[in-house]
Copies of this chain bind each other. A is one copy, B any other.
Amino acid sequence: MAGSHYTVLVSAFDPHSRPDPGWRAELYTVLFETETSKGRAFDAVLLAAILVSVSAVCLETVDPLYRRFAPVFESLEWMFTGLFAVEYCLRLASVRRPRRYALSFFGVVDLISILPTIVGLFVADAHSLRIIRALRLMRVFRVLKLGKFLRDAQVLRAALVAARYKIVVFMVAVLNLVLMLGALMYLVEGPEHGFSSIPKGIYWAIVTMTTVGYGDIAPQTTLGQVIASGVMLLGYGILAVPTGIVSVELSRVTLNESAEERVGQRACACGMSEDDSGANYCRRCGERLPDLR
């Protein structure tokens, strides 16, 4: 079911993108095919390079480190940008339909992980945008055995999709509550206790209901503390609702999947299960059913 979504995310293009035999095909094997030994070795090296590069971007912002190792960070930056740029060009060169790769999820990520360094020559703050390279770490799913992960990512996704209406209902209710509480606390506590405006009150309500509780803004009047106590107990109860929703949907999807395995059943994203092997569309929502495995 919806396997195509994951193919996009993980391998970034269809299997027909392999070019005809020749140096391009050779290059293609190394750069794109995870199942071959060469491809796997390349992916391992690439992942290590991305990790080092992301770490360098993070550590560069630590002042004492930067002051001591500024030239190291600078050369690392240019080296990795260069390497990633070369890799990007080779990928474009080796794939049969370069434009398709360039517009795929990983194509775009590969491009924008090179750009910040170049933009940084002109704009000072752009350097930190290199953190976007972290997205490239998602290639890790390709190196590890794919099947298991895909299957479980699908289960998680199907559960969240099935729960989407319940989550929207829940979120609208929470937002309403938070707006009201923010305004109420602004009136009760007032600017002298840190609740300087309604948006600040809303911020406090969110910090409290999610049980984060920084303590940068905390009620100080008696009435404010009584209301806050009520809000916390409420938040406590409310926290149970999304957990319950996700658990139930996850459980339903998981059970459907187990059932499918036994008989030739298939499940639709809407949660309906179908055991007529000739059916093509869901009886309930009309969407196309997944193919029989």
Contacts and interface: CB of A to CB of B under 8 A. Distances in A.
Contacts of A197: 58-59, 61-63
Instruction: Give the one of A57, A176, A191 with max B CB within 10 A.
Output: A176
A113 interface: no
Interface in A126-185: 128-129, 131-132, 134-135, 137-138, 140-141, 144, 148-149, 151-153, 155-156, 159, 165-172, 174-176, 179-180, 182-183
Contact of A229 (B167, B183, B206, B211): B206
B243 A247 contact: yes
Contact of A235 (B200, B210, B215, B216): B210
A182 B258 CA distance: 39
Contacts of A258: 252, 271
Given A61-B199, A128-B183, A242 B242 contact: no
A127 to B, nearest CB: 10
Contacts of A232: 206-207, 210, 212
Interface residues of A, number: 91
A85 interface: no
B58 A202 contact: yes
Interface string A69-85: 00000000000000000
Contacts of A165: 148-149, 151-152
Interface of A: 54, 57-59, 61-63, 125, 128-129, 131-132, 134-135, 137-138, 140-141, 144, 148-149, 151-153, 155-156, 159, 165-172, 174-176, 179-180, 182-183, 186-187, 191, 196-200, 202-203, 206-208, 210-216, 218, 222, 225, 228-229, 232-233, 235-237, 239-252, 254, 258, 261, 271, 284
